[in-house]
Amino acid sequence: MQVISLYIHIPLCVKKCAYCDFASFAGRMAHRDRYVQAVCREIRAQAAFFGKRSLRSVFFGGGTPTLLTGAQIRAIMDTVRECFVLLPDAEISMEGNPGTLTRDNLKAYRAAGVNRLSLGVQSMDDGLLAAIGRIHTAAQAEEAAAMAREAGFDNLNLDLMYGLPGQSAAQWRETLQKAIALSPEHLSCYSLILEEGTPLYEAVQAGMCAALPCDNIIEEMDGITARLTRENGYAHYEVSNYARPGRTCRHNVVYWECEPYLGVGLGAHSDVDGRRFYNPEDWEAYLEMAESGETARQTEGENRREDRMFERMMMGLRQVQGVDMARFEQDFSVKPEDVWPETLERMTNGGMMEKRGSRLRLTERGMQVMNGVLVELMDEFDSKQQMDG
């Protein structure tokens, strides 16, 4: 049986952030217990179907998992332990909002087995935090980091965002410097993506908030990120992720390497034993499914070998180390060079891609225009299929 990873979605928030389009809801705190019970039920049902697998990582994502009490997290972890085998070095991550953390709940999470905390800091500028609808201040974020250390978290990530409305390069530098001063083991620096339908999107479209920084400023911010992380011992290992040695997020690496994972909770996606499926994003629909002891078998469309090959590239190339070509060949019985001869040659000659040992990766420049590279790969696939068909 394959070793897998487990994702647990907690779709609760105090308030939706202005930029957020993930599945989460404000004002459902009263239903926490019911939700936790439903998740535990789903875990049991999935284990019954897939068997008592070994877990290499567990990830509580959200939403705001830290809106659950220590006891609730413990209840879920107990269920996980009962149904699966946690490998001795399993990474157990949890996302948290600085505005929801206390010494007590941090200690309780740690005691429940959580060994990695990912704090949604986003910015160290109170003005910007308010502008994007965060519920905490910069001081609270710093305090939360200190409390996490106190509670025994020795693996800490800070989530940061840049390219926020009206943000200057200097403001970003300051945020990054303050974050680094907290000495986290891991940093995620996300360039803001304006998602259609979010309040921030509407505000920017309507000119109701400060304008987004122009390309020149974003470029400057990218430069600041690269320099400050390097100078402080964080290695760039994925488009938006930086880690001290040995501290990459093993759960996320599972996604990028296209290793199997099981997702439980509202809207969670799974990819186990070559099957892909996902849960309903609707609150009632999810609870109904989980409480009746059923599991989602709704597949993510046609899952062809060609799609798998492309997705291996799409996910793998996000990593600085790139795609493992030997594993690719082992899994698909064909070399990437034989699947995409033209694009790989053109991209390599054009300085976008390179081979490093058994890995095929994007160069620094290639990483900047990754979408373009991926679209080229898709195109070559399409034209091939047209010729075959």
Partner 1 sequence: MANERMDKIRNFCIIAHIDHGKSTLADRLLEKTGVYEKREMVEQILDSMELERERGITIKSKAVHMDYKAKDGQAYTLNLIDTPGHVDFTYEVSRALAACEGALLVVDATQGVEAQTLANVYMALEHNLEIIPVINKIDLPSARPDEVRAEIEEIIGLDASEAPLISAKVGLGIDDVLESVVNMMPAPEGDEEAPLQALIFDSFYDNYRGAICFVRIVSGSVRAGMRIRMMNTGACFDVVEVGTRSPGYVPKDELRAGEVGYIAASIKDIHDTRVGDTITDDANPAAEMLPGYRQVTPMVFCGIYPVDGADYENLKDALEKLRLNDASLTFEPETSQALGYGFRCGFLGLLHMEIITMRLEREFDLDLITTAPSVIYKVHRTDGTVLDVDNPSNLPPIGEIEYMEEPFVKASIHTPQEYVGALMETCQNKRGVFKDMVYEGSRVCLHYEMPLSEIIFDFFDQIKSRSRGYASYDYEFFGYQESELVKLDMLLNGDICDALSMIVHKDRAYTRGRSIAEKLKDVIPRQMFEIPIQAAIGGKVIARETVKAMRKDVLAKCYGGDITRKRKLLEKQKEGKKRMRQLGSVQVPSEAFMAVLKMDE
Question: What is the closest distance, in whole angstroms, from the C-beta atom of residue 314 to partner 1 in the complex?
Answer: 7
Contact between 45 and partner 1 by CB under 8 A: the answer reads: no
If the CB atoms of residues 105 and 321 are measured against partner 1, the closer one turns out to be 321
Per DSSP bridges, beta strands 12-13 and 25-26 are: parallel
Contact between 270 and partner 1 by CB under 8 A: the answer reads: yes
Applying CB under 8 A, among 84, 234, 242, 256 the residue interacting with partner 1 is 256
> What sign has the CA pseudo-torsion 117, 166, 13, 281?
negative
Contact between 238 and partner 1 by CB under 8 A: the answer reads: yes
Question: What is the closest distance, in whole angstroms, from the C-beta atom of residue 167 to partner 1 in the complex?
Answer: 14
Residues 6+ apart with CB under 8 A from 288: none
Applying CB under 8 A, among 352, 353, 360, 361 the residue interacting with partner 1 is 352
Applying CB under 8 A, among 137, 232, 240, 363 the residue interacting with partner 1 is 240
Interface stretch with partner 1, choices 25-33, 115-123, 169-177, 375-383 (CB under 8 A):
375-383
Interface stretch with partner 1, choices 44-52, 79-87, 255-263, 328-336 (CB under 8 A):
255-263
Residues 6+ apart with CB under 8 A from 256: 238, 315, 316, 318, 319
Residue 276 near residue 299 (C-beta atoms within 8 A) = yes
The DSSP secondary structure of 123-186, one letter per residue, reads -S-HHHHHHTT-SS-HHHHHHHHHHHHHTT---EEEEEEES-TT--HHHHHHHHHHHHHT--SE
Tokens of 326: 């030997």
Contact between 278 and partner 1 by CB under 8 A: the answer reads: yes
3-state SS, residue 351: coil
If the CB atoms of residues 74 and 276 are measured against partner 1, the closer one turns out to be 276
**Which contiguous run of DSSP H or E holds residue 172?**
helix 169-181
Applying CB under 8 A, among 11, 65, 99, 263 the residue interacting with partner 1 is 263
Applying CB under 8 A, among 69, 115, 363, 368 the residue interacting with partner 1 is 368
If the CB atoms of residues 165 and 263 are measured against partner 1, the closer one turns out to be 263
Radius of gyration of the chain (CA): 21
Contact between 311 and partner 1 by CB under 8 A: the answer reads: yes
Interface stretch with partner 1, choices 85-93, 137-145, 176-184, 271-279 (CB under 8 A):
271-279
Question: What is the closest distance, in whole angstroms, from the C-beta atom of residue 71 to partner 1 in the complex?
Answer: 26
Contact between 282 and partner 1 by CB under 8 A: the answer reads: no
Between the alpha carbon of residue 101 and those of residues 126, 135, 201, the distances in Å are 18, 12, 29
Per DSSP bridges, beta strands 116-122 and 235-238 are: unpaired
Applying CB under 8 A, among 261, 286, 328, 340 the residue interacting with partner 1 is 261
Question: What is the closest distance, in whole angstroms, from the C-beta atom of residue 225 to partner 1 in the complex?
Answer: 11
Distance in angstroms (rounded) separating the CA atoms of residues 53 and 5: 9
Contact between 125 and partner 1 by CB under 8 A: the answer reads: no
Distance in angstroms (rounded) separating the CA atoms of residues 329 and 361: 16
Residue 237 near residue 210 (C-beta atoms within 8 A) = no
SS3 content of the chain, % helix, strand, coil (to 5): 45, 20, 30
- Size of interface with partner 1, in residues (CB under 8 A): 44
Q: Which of residues 207-236 bind partner 1 (CB under 8 A)?
A: 215, 218-219, 222
Tokens of 1: 């049986």
Tokens of 166: 């009206």
The residues that touch partner 1, with contacts defined as CB under 8 A, are 7, 61, 190-193, 215, 218-219, 222, 238-240, 252, 255-256, 261, 263, 268-271, 276, 278, 300-301, 311, 314-315, 318, 346, 350, 352, 367-375, 378-379
